[in-house]
Amino acid sequence: MSKKALVKDYMTRNVISVKSNTKCADVIQTMKDTGHDGFPVVNGEGNIVGIVTTFDLLLKDWKETVDEIMSKDVVIAREDMALNDASRVMFRQGISRMPVVNKEGKLSGFLTNTDIVRSHIERSTPSKVNYFKNTLEQLYDTKAKVIQEKVPVDKIRPTQDRIYADELDGRIYELKRGLAEPAIVVHTGDRWILIDGHHRAVASVKLGCKNIDSYVIELKKDIKLGVEKTADKSGIYTLDDIHIIDDDQHPLIAITESIKKSKEKKIVGKKINEDEIRRHLHD
């Protein structure tokens, strides 16, 4: 039975917090410097007394200090809370971030939607790997084992001849933030065959990475895979041979964009009249 994932396993530990007497102008500057859109507010003992977000800064009347605009009703998770339970709470409450406290009630981390997504990626990929492993064992009447390791990108043999530019940009974004799941590679003979993760592999090259984190399925026999034969016919031997489609969107993205455009026609924009906020945000 797999170990139940806990909040402490995936929460962000390097948390930036502010005090209740922190100036709002300083919070805005910190947001600009870090790219974060919210911070927990703590007292002198490290206990959480509120949270301040861009929502508070933009939609509330301008005040000088955090204690005058922060949200005081804060949903808080404990480190030993089950991650699935925490994600349900976040969904039901409609929040994208949740401060985490330790047994002493002190701020110890921050759980975000990104952390939740990362946890699901890391927990779902192994089941996909086992599916590929079992399929290969049955197809080629051999045994295989799975290990996770860094594979040099210059050794990888791709089996897909094209990828989408918009999806590639997304994978680059994820890799920069440590979000992308490992690729799936089959090691047979002296060859490293890329089965799943072509966007990730090309993104790694674009970022100058020498290796790519991978689940490697090692076959006991040196077998010429069917996907290798297909790649041979297409002339695909290295990652440089993959064509990047930049004049079309990934099918799912295209659907999403069409839905987005139809919704935008129904949305009435709301003008935020707060000259002081705009002045600080654009300084």
What is the model's pLDDT at position 128? Answer: 82
User: pLDDT value at position 111?
Assistant: 92
Angle between helices 113-140 and 83-93 (to 10 degrees): 130
Give residue 251's pLDDT band: very low, low, confident or very high (50, 70, 90).
Answer: low
Q: What is the pLDDT of residue 179?
A: 72
Between 167 and 180, name the one with better pLDDT. Answer: 167
Q: What pLDDT is stored for residue 274 in this prediction?
A: 45
Model pLDDT for residues 53-90, shown as the tens digit of each residue = 998 998 899 999 999 999 988 899 999 999 989 998 98
| 4-15: pLDDT as tens digits | 789 998 898 888
pLDDT at residue number 124: 59
What residue ranges define each of the domains in the chain, with the CATH number in brackets? 7-116 (3.10.580.10), 142-248 (3.90.1530.10)
Split at pLDDT 50, 70, 90, the class of 269 is very low
Residue 224 has pLDDT above 80, yes or no: yes
Mean pLDDT of 37-48: 90
User: Cα(27)–Cα(65) distance, rounded to whole angstroms?
Assistant: 9
For the ranges 16-20, 158-162, 169-173, 259-263, the lowest mean pLDDT is seen at 259-263
Cα separation, 20 vs 68, in Å, equals 8
Distance in Å from the first CA to the final CA of the chain: 54
Is the pLDDT at 270 greater than 90, yes or no?
A: no
Asked if the model's pLDDT at residue 33 lies above 70, the reply is: yes
Q: How confident is the model at residue 121 (pLDDT cuts 50, 70, 90)?
A: low
Determine the Cα–Cα distance for residues 66 and 88; give it in Å rounded to an integer: 29
What pLDDT sits at residue 189? 94
Residue 245, both tokens:
């489609």
| Helix, strand, coil % over all residues of the chain, rounded to 5 | 40, 25, 35
CA gap 111, 62 in Å, rounded: 28
> 163 phi and psi, to 5 degrees?
-140, 165
Unique residue bearing structure tokens 């026999």: 221
Q: Do 24 and 66 contact (CB within 8 A), yes or no? A: yes
45 token code pair: 């003992």
At residue 249, the 3 state secondary structure works out as coil
Confidence label for 100 from pLDDT (cuts 50, 70 and 90): very high
Asked if pLDDT for residue 223 goes beyond 60, the answer is yes
pTM of structure:
0.56
Q: What is the mean pLDDT of residues 263-270?
A: 45
User: Is there a contact between 156 and 187 (Cβ–Cβ < 8 Å)?
Assistant: no
